[in-house]
Structure 1
């Protein structure tokens, strides 16, 4: 299983940052674009996308790995 990918506010842009990394892998003008990029990485690494709001708090997450307790929601 690879690193979880965090979508975080980075100044006036949104960044995708691998868990434990100090710098963003890539920055985007919108959160939506950053989430799509993070999903691609997470699917390849069988990891999770953790989406942070403007305030830095986690607002959502999606697992693309071998989750032992998969969620029952169907929002994505």
Structure 2
């Protein structure tokens, strides 16, 4: 089964952006990180993908997966 492309929320050129892996441009821009996270989360849920949220410095701050877990917890 093919892996779904991640949705990444990141800061660039004074604005927060969301981009789907493999796309050359951001899907949308937001003035605040909270707005971008909310939009990015919806994009990831709609795609059953992972949402990667980066800090202002570009380092990964958080990751959330949406969709079917191929390795659910046992017990």
TM class by shorter chain equals 0.7 to 0.9
* Runs of 4+ off more than 4 Å: none
TM normalised by structure 1 equals 0.82
Distance in structure 2 (CA, Å) of the matches to 1:25 and 1:12: 16
**Higher Cα radius of gyration:** 2
Q: How far off is 1:2 after superposition? A: 3.5
TM normalised by structure 2 equals 0.83
Distance in structure 2 (CA, Å) of the matches to 1:70 and 1:25: 31
Q: What is the aligned-residue RMSD (CA, Å)?
A: 1.8
**Count of residues in correspondence between the two structures:** 71
